[in-house]
Structure 1
Amino acid sequence: MTRSVYVTGIDRGDGRQVVDLGVMELLTRQVDRVGVFRPLVHDGPDRLFELLRARYRLGQDPATAYGMSYEQATALQAERGLDELVTALVDRFHAVADAYEVVLVLGTDFAGANLPDELGLNARLANEFGASVIGVVGGRGQSAEAVADEARNACRAYQDLGCDVLAMIANRVAPEDRDAVAELLDRRLDKRHGLPGYVLPDEPALSAPTMGQIAHALDAQVLLGDAAGLARDALGFVFGGATLPNLLKALTPGCLIIAPGDRTDLVLGALAAHSAGSPPIAGVVLTLGIVPDPGLMALAERLAPGTPVLSVRENSFPTAERLFTMEGKLNAATPRKAETALGLFERYVDVARLRTLVSAPSSGRVTPMMFEHGLIERARADKRRVVLPEGTEERVLRAAEVLLRRGVCELTLLGPAEQIRKKAADLGLDIADAELIDPQTSELRESFARRYAGLRAHKGVGFDLAHDVVSDVNYFGTLMVLDGFADGMVSGSVHSTAATIRPAFEVIRTRPDAELVSSVFFMCLADRVLVYGDCAVNPDPDAAQLADIALQSAETAAQFGVEPRIAMLSYSTGASGAGADVEKVRRATEIVRERRPDLPVEGPIQYDAAVEPTVAATKLPGSRVAGQATVLIFPDLNTGNNTYKAVQRSAGAIAVGPVLQGLRKPVNDLSRGALVQDIVNTVAITAVQAQQPAPATAATPASGSAPSPDGTDRAQKGSRS
């Protein structure tokens, strides 16, 4: 039977969408097919469903997600009674439930739709749907005692109506009251009702309208500003009626300046302050329909590229009246708000406990979305610090904001601090919680130079040369990892693979239990996640090295929730072919079996026999791996690199990696075409790798590892284009 979760409240204004989004995130971590059903909907597209559909790549037809409109429900109940209304909604719910493993039900919004006893209707529907209830109450403007009482009373009301209540959540609670409300709920809910209560503090960024929403609501003309600027949150309002020095004193981070269109001195002054990062503003609204001279607007655009400047016909007072009543909304056009909402939910809700209470049926496979969610959850569970050398790169900054909002890890960004702050301000990004370090001026540069010179003395590197080398962001970041100032590093969005990983080969070096450094890609296909190795580092490994790559790849797969079933790939399957290349793979397979008899491995095997059950049934019947391989080991870099790119481009797969394995500490490379989500995933992978203890036999990083007899360090020199 389909498991359903019904998120509902008792009144409007509870900000329940944060909980809806958090529960959807929780469900999609467990199962592949999650449906959404909203019994009653207002006219027009439902913004929350559109957000869920876009964020979680739902294939659900929007027409199936809704029961009926509030107007239809009111008329049906008036004409034919409540039972007829409930019957109609139950029928439409089951049409969704039959198609999905789990259904998230979004309760009614208590928006004055002339439905008597709306709480009772939600309780009745939850029972008829066989859904468990997560109740939400709003705490804005209420005392701690009042919020706790309301949550307890709401819980009792739903339970008295026969509902299976999983948890109660108090949302939009004053931050200073959050702990007090949590303590009260713990006493009043857990002991009396045996269920948890969670408290989410009010988050200004969630209720703040974006500049785009303001432009739409005011029917404003957008004089300046790009899409990123229009996505900024307006966290407060400052009215420009004073002189420029007094206005500048009143500015706060994220504020919206409202000024008459003829006060160009205020506009230019505020934009200049934004450009300097003191403080970054959301934008400017010019009133009275007065548009400044084009030359002044051109100057304004150069001062703060992307910052929105809007023009409205009304004067300041009616404009302010409309702004004060506006509230930001979660929708598909506000992905940054969604990240903030999820970060809030996951910070203050015991997600592991709630997942146990929901007890959705677990899927037997790892889907791409489940893989991505699992990365974020595991990284957050034991936070580590990751250094990002490319701190001035736009995609890196956008990824940094997502990582910080979600609380995935702590971050250090390298580069000139003022340049990073200005770039973030121009993009409207909040990276205030990131550590900023400029390698050129950092006090660590001297000690890192001495450290590097000592490690590379066998290559003739002295202090002066080392002092220059460590000013490079990738070398500086790698040395931060080596000396414990960071737990891992991710680079490569604008640097070559060689520039990213050469410092790691030189100073971090291989683990004592690893033959070499190798890599894998996590290939996120439509219905599964496969692990490809090695597609980035080793050009032509011999049999022993190929076996080591297989063992490392199996360990990495297991570490990230993919059950390892290893396919040692070749152009021949089983005993059907011969030749040096096939014999290398056959010998590597034997070595894997000798070293790890517990691991299922098959080789030599062709790709189609490894992943397609019908082909496997013909070529290798009875194999534990054929047709269901999850770890695919390529015989050389040429084959692996071309195959991963072919699958990525032809099958639309998401390729996460390369993820390096075999290093003492984690350093990972990005594709120069990496998207923001690719960077987020790679940083999360790096943070999870950093959680793993070093092998007991590892030497201390300070000692380094000796060069091999030919004078090269123990790592292969292949590189990915």
Structure 2
Amino acid sequence: MKVQSLYISALHKNVGSLFITMGIMEILKTKIDKVAFFRPIIFDKNIKDKDIEFISQKYKLDMSYEECYGFDLGEVESIIASKGLDELITQLFEKFKKLQERYEFILCEGIARSLFTSNSNQNINALLAQNFGSSIISIFSAKERSSQEIYEDISIEKQNLLSLDIPCFSMFVSRVDEKNFPELENKLKEYSPNISFLKELPELDVLTLEDITETLEAKKIVFSQNDNVRAVRGFVVASLGVDDFLQEIKEDALVIVDAKRSDIILALIASFYSKEYPKISAVLFVGDSELSQSLKKIILGLHEYKIPFLSIEDDAFESVKKLLNVYPRLRVNSERKIALALGLFSASIDMAAFEQKIKVQKSDVMTPIMFQYKLFEMARKKKKNIVLPESSDERILRAAEIVLRRDVADITLLGKADEIREHSLKLGLDISKATIIEHEKSELLEEFSHSFYEMRKHKGITLEASRDTMIHSTYFATMMVHLGYADGMVSGALHSSADTIRPSLQIIKTTSDVELVSSIFFMCLKTKVLIYGDCALNQNPNAKELSQIAISSADTARLFDIVPKVAMLSYSTGESGSGVDVDKVREATMIVKSLRSDLEVDGPLQYDAAVDKSVASIKLPNSKVAGEASVFIFPDLNTGNNTYKAVQRSSGALAIGPILQGLKKPINDLSRGCTVDDVLNTILITAIQANI
């Protein structure tokens, strides 16, 4: 997929993140109409974020200020402390995805890593970029740092991004001293052309009068709108006599003077109009003294070139202290700085290549959070009705409430209405939007009994026995799906797998192209989602059955937008091994290829050759699957079940399943040890399967 978001990440403060953000926004806004700007974390929500204000105003973004950020630092620390880092990432991910629904591209700007109080939190920008599916732009400062230090920072960052499977879109080294540029460029040549250098431009760090008036909250005596962008390159305190003072004034200086010093004020006015003296930026009156009426008359009566006059109530000493804490800002009306910054950006990168990269750069990362969000979105597109026969279970009710509140599916609960409502109220849940059917007394019971009798009478079942069978909640729910009263069923929290699967085999049956019901697990690793089959149902499938498991698993992969590259697993790779077990896998691979020429499938493959490109290049160099497999078919239940559990426990992977496949309509089985999240994910998957 094309890049739909970029994430700008800086190691330290004051590295020029906003200049780079602006440069990239210039490119985006010329090519894409609907662009969003998002800062997942800001410093303090009680203080307007300057970068958000600037980008929003300059590019006239169709976004409210609140949409442009997630949390402030205080909230971030609180969420991590109370609920953990995953909860923070999940909440920010949801905010990000809401923007993605409305915009074609999202440009993210992270907060400087150095602002986090804990070293363990300093990787948040990378983790957010990973979960957003964003390519990352890393910024490093060369200010007062050696080329070796910069080299080490970049090397560490590169390894960090590789470990997280985050595409590095570009790297910038900013604030490069021109005299150190050749040495730095030579030191970092191994990273070329993915690195750009932004030379230090002192002008970008120069204060403006607007910076000063805003920070000091100064009163404007003589001041025009254009005076806001005046540069202030230094401060001069007028404490000397006129002759000595005039020797001290410099170009673009802010002169700090007591309003009583009429001699200095008149001298300043005279020097301003003289060709022989530097032109000061402004005059700042300090203290609580008032200008004399005669001086006011002179100042207000000046024509053409006017000196800006400001005043504050602090004395000279306090004023200087405050001025030392004024920092330059890039503002929408800072035309000079903007022009300088954009010029620097354009001169430092290959603009055409940069634009082209935005079009073609891909991110194949799929984190567990991303996959779970994907399930919600896919289910929401076409809401289905999922029946849950185990309404007495707390986990079922909690998952049902989430589904209903997020409005991704309709829910039907089986059981006594009064008991279900009472139970949910005790739990503090609202399941009022669910449909409740008392299946033992339902009007549907007679219809279902007759339907089941017609299906099974050749097996010797009586109508009375059919009625007794239909009173069982899983049979009733399965018949609801079969006859179209529901689109799918999820059960197994209280019942055995046999209780869930047997009714589906008797009533719904398999699809026309397979004779076998099988299962898969979605294995959500840190940066990708793999499919493992069959790890739950078929104990020792023969070659034909194994081929059907492979075909069903590939079709499931496609349903969830996973490109199926099917690895038929065994203890040997290619033609290197022999024996009954490996021959079975080899035969199954041939059957799949003969039945489904549209699938990329290879086998037998060892697991390492299926997932590791370096191993694959040695063991099976011409394979289109080896090293890139996304669907893994295990030769038997013992191998599959142990492997999925080993991967789940050792890597921390999220295992979603088992998900049944091969049935005409979706029925899914839960483990009796399932969590609320397990139930929720299974409901979503069942709803998506119902869209076929």
Q: Report the AA paired with residue 670 of structure 1.
A: L
Per the alignment, residue 366 of structure 2 pairs with: 366
Quick one: structure 1 residues 90 and 6, their matched pair in 2 at CA, closer, same or farther if it must change by over 3 Å? farther
Quick one: structure 1 residues 42 and 675, their matched pair in 2 at CA, closer, same or farther if it must change by over 3 Å? closer
Contact 2:40–2:69, Cα closer than 8 Å, also in 1: no
Per the alignment, residue 683 of structure 1 pairs with: 683
Per the alignment, residue 5 of structure 1 pairs with: 38
Task: For 1:280-429, list aligned pairs within 5 A.
Answer: 363-429=363-429
Contact 1:36–1:65, Cα closer than 8 Å, also in 2: no
Per the alignment, residue 64 of structure 1 pairs with: 113
Distance in 2 of aligned mates of 1:485 and 1:55: 37
Per the alignment, residue 86 of structure 2 pairs with: 54
Quick one: structure 1 residues 162 and 426, their matched pair in 2 at CA, closer, same or farther if it must change by over 3 Å? farther
Distance in 1 of aligned mates of 2:378 and 2:482: 23
Distance in 2 of aligned mates of 1:51 and 1:360: 37
Per the alignment, residue 569 of structure 1 pairs with: 569
Aligned-pair distance for 1:505?
0.3
- Give a deviation string over 1:75-95, Cα, whole Å, max 9, x none: xxxxxxxxxxxxxx9989xx9
Q: Report the AA paired with residue 53 of structure 1.
A: L
Aligned-pair distance for 1:416?
1.5
Per the alignment, residue 619 of structure 1 pairs with: 619
Aligned-pair distance for 1:486?
0.4
Task: For 1:245-284, list aligned pairs within 5 A.
Answer: none
Give SS of 2:522's match: strand
Aligned-pair distance for 1:576?
1.3
Quick one: structure 1 residues 393 and 564, their matched pair in 2 at CA, closer, same or farther if it must change by over 3 Å? same
Q: Report the AA paired with residue 448 of structure 1.
A: F
Per the alignment, residue 672 of structure 1 pairs with: 672
Contact 1:387–1:412, Cα closer than 8 Å, also in 2: yes
Distance in 2 of aligned mates of 1:8 and 1:654: 27
- Give a deviation string over 1:109-157, Cα, whole Å, max 9, x none: xxxx99979xxxxxxxxxxxxxxxxxxxxxxxxxxxxxxxxxxxxxxxx
Distance in 2 of aligned mates of 1:56 and 1:359: 30
Aligned-pair distance for 1:495?
1.1
Quick one: structure 1 residues 525 and 162, their matched pair in 2 at CA, closer, same or farther if it must change by over 3 Å? farther
Per the alignment, residue 240 of structure 1 pairs with: none
Distance in 2 of aligned mates of 1:160 and 1:500: 63
Distance in 2 of aligned mates of 1:162 and 1:439: 71
- Residue 631 of structure 2 is aligned to residue 631 of structure 1: yes
Distance in 2 of aligned mates of 1:419 and 1:59: 34
Quick one: structure 1 residues 564 and 452, their matched pair in 2 at CA, closer, same or farther if it must change by over 3 Å? same
Task: Judge which range, 523-532 or 42-51, deviates more.
Answer: 42-51
- Residue 578 of structure 2 is aligned to residue 529 of structure 1: no
Task: For 1:433-512, list aligned pairs within 5 A.
Answer: 433-512=433-512
Contact 1:366–1:562, Cα closer than 8 Å, also in 2: no
Aligned-pair distance for 1:528?
1.6
Give SS of 1:601's match: strand
Aligned-pair distance for 1:62?
10
Quick one: structure 1 residues 12 and 623, their matched pair in 2 at CA, closer, same or farther if it must change by over 3 Å? closer
Aligned-pair distance for 1:53?
3.4
Give SS of 1:2's match: strand
Distance in 1 of aligned mates of 2:382 and 2:76: 43
- Give a deviation string over 1:634-691, Cα, whole Å, max 9, x none: 1122222222222222332221111111111000111111111111111111001101
- Give a deviation string over 1:573-631, Cα, whole Å, max 9, x none: 11111112211111111111122223221111111221122322322223211122110
Quick one: structure 1 residues 516 and 45, their matched pair in 2 at CA, closer, same or farther if it must change by over 3 Å? closer
Give SS of 2:578's match: coil
Quick one: structure 1 residues 576 and 66, their matched pair in 2 at CA, closer, same or farther if it must change by over 3 Å? same
| The structure with more radius of gyration | 2
Distance in 1 of aligned mates of 2:333 and 2:456: 73
What TM-score do the two structures reach when normalised by structure 1?
Answer: 0.51
Contact 2:80–2:88, Cα closer than 8 Å, also in 1: no
Give SS of 2:520's match: strand
Q: Report the AA paired with residue 674 of structure 1.
A: C
Quick one: structure 1 residues 420 and 58, their matched pair in 2 at CA, closer, same or farther if it must change by over 3 Å? closer
Per the alignment, residue 645 of structure 2 pairs with: 645
- Give a deviation string over 1:138-178, Cα, whole Å, max 9, x none: xxxxxxxxxxxxxxxxxxxx997799xxxxxxxxxxxxxxx
Gaps of 5+ in 2: 1-5, 9-36, 50-67, 93-109, 118-138, 143-152, 170-213, 219-329, 336-357
Give SS of 1:574's match: coil
Distance in 1 of aligned mates of 2:587 and 2:80: 55
- Give a deviation string over 1:468-496, Cα, whole Å, max 9, x none: 11111110110110111100001111211
Aligned-pair distance for 1:56?
5.3
Q: Say what the alpha-carbon RMSD is for the aligned residues.
A: 4.2
Quick one: structure 1 residues 90 and 607, their matched pair in 2 at CA, closer, same or farther if it must change by over 3 Å? closer
Distance in 2 of aligned mates of 1:676 and 1:159: 49
Contact 1:2–1:102, Cα closer than 8 Å, also in 2: no
Task: For 1:184-203, list aligned pairs within 5 A.
Answer: none
Task: For 1:11-160, list aligned pairs within 5 A.
Answer: 41=73, 45-47=77-79, 53-55=85-87, 57=89, 64=113, 66=115
Q: Report the AA paired with residue 629 of structure 1.
A: A
Per the alignment, residue 132 of structure 2 pairs with: none
Aligned-pair distance for 1:51?
6.7
Contact 1:36–1:49, Cα closer than 8 Å, also in 2: no
Aligned-pair distance for 1:43?
9.3
- Give a deviation string over 1:553-578, Cα, whole Å, max 9, x none: 11101111211111111112111111
Contact 2:38–2:69, Cα closer than 8 Å, also in 1: no
- Give a deviation string over 1:420-447, Cα, whole Å, max 9, x none: 1111111101111111112112121111
Distance in 2 of aligned mates of 1:467 and 1:528: 47
Q: Report the AA paired with residue 5 of structure 1.
A: F
Distance in 2 of aligned mates of 1:5 and 1:482: 46
Q: Report the AA paired with residue 392 of structure 1.
A: S
Q: Report the AA paired with residue 428 of structure 2.
A: G
Distance in 1 of aligned mates of 2:476 and 2:618: 54
Distance in 2 of aligned mates of 1:608 and 1:632: 12
Distance in 1 of aligned mates of 2:430 and 2:462: 40
- Give a deviation string over 1:361-414, Cα, whole Å, max 9, x none: 752233322221111101001100000111110111111111111111000011
Task: For 1:213-224, list aligned pairs within 5 A.
Answer: none
Distance in 1 of aligned mates of 2:449 and 2:76: 62
Q: Report the AA paired with residue 501 of structure 2.
A: I
Quick one: structure 1 residues 593 and 468, their matched pair in 2 at CA, closer, same or farther if it must change by over 3 Å? same
Distance in 2 of aligned mates of 1:116 and 1:592: 76
Aligned-pair distance for 1:12?
9.1
Aligned-pair distance for 1:54?
3.3
Give SS of 1:575's match: coil
Quick one: structure 1 residues 618 and 462, their matched pair in 2 at CA, closer, same or farther if it must change by over 3 Å? same
Distance in 1 of aligned mates of 2:556 and 2:41: 41
Contact 1:489–1:668, Cα closer than 8 Å, also in 2: yes
Q: Report the AA paired with residue 571 of structure 1.
A: Y
Distance in 1 of aligned mates of 2:523 and 2:510: 25
Give SS of 1:616's match: helix
- Give a deviation string over 1:187-241, Cα, whole Å, max 9, x none: xxxxxxxxxxxxxxxxxxxxxxxxxxxxxxxxxxxxxxxxxxxxxxxxxxxxxxx
Per the alignment, residue 226 of structure 2 pairs with: none
Equivalenced residues, count:
407
Per the alignment, residue 660 of structure 1 pairs with: 660
Distance in 2 of aligned mates of 1:575 and 1:377: 43
Give SS of 1:576's match: coil
Give SS of 2:516's match: coil
Gaps of 5+ in 1: 17-34, 69-88, 104-112, 118-157, 164-357, 693-721
Aligned-pair distance for 1:462?
1.1
